[in-house]
Amino acid sequence: MATILKNLSAYDTKRVPKAKDMRFGIVVSEWNEEITKALCLGAVETLMYHKVKAKNITVKYVPGSFELTLGAQFLLDYTDVDAVICLGCVIQGETRHFDFICDAVSNGIMKLTTDYATPVVFGVLTTNSYEQAKDRSGGKHGNKGTEAAITAIKMVALQKELISKYNPS
């Protein structure tokens, strides 16, 4: 319902911090690939629009949304990213599988965020239908990948600001 009132790609560019020297990891689910590729494209284009260098964007793919958490952990453990953006799409089916996957992914991403004290952004569509997913991956409601990229930039900037102000070294 909230998406109907807000376009996921709409934001005030003046309120986005400078991202030139930031480094981002993007982990993308291969499940519902048409949707997740569009989410990834939205995220990468948004990061580059805000001057993130292509060499500072690492994109990795995992089989499904359930694997996003471990993929994000790998990026946190083995690269020098400032934030990780998790992109996936889970569409409601006839069984409770949807509920278990959505719950596991959201809890896993939140746990990584707090365990690593690093922004790990939830860019996972949890929709009732394929059409709703298309609408939110570059369709009439914008692109969740764009929104996730802006969230990542803002969270990295906040962390850097607080570190420099309260923990300068």
Instruction: For 31-40, write each residue's pLDDT tens digit.
Output: 999 999 999 9
Q: Higher model confidence: residue 138 or residue 168?
A: 138
What local confidence, expressed as pLDDT, does residue 129 receive? 96
List, in order of start, the domains of the chain with CATH numbers.
20-166 (3.40.50.960)
pLDDT 10s digits, 102-142: 999 999 999 999 999 999 999 999 999 999 999 999 999 99
97 is catalytic: yes
Q: Are 86 and 66 in contact (CB under 8 A)?
A: no
H/E stretch holding 121: strand 120-127
- How many angstroms separate the Cα of 69 from the Cα of each of 6, 65, 76, 164? 27, 8, 11, 29
Distance CA 85, CA 69 (A): 10
Distance CA 50, CA 156 (A): 13
The helix (H) or strand (E) run that includes residue 131 is helix 130-135
Averaged pLDDT for residues 6-21 = 92
75, 25 contact by CB (below 8 A): yes
Q: What's the average model confidence in pLDDT over 143-155?
A: 98
Active-site hit among 6, 18, 51, 97: 97
Exposed, middle or buried: residue 157 (CB in 10 Å: 0-12, 13-18, 19+)? middle
Q: CA-CA-CA-CA torsion for 114, 106, 29, 98, nearest 10 degrees?
A: 160
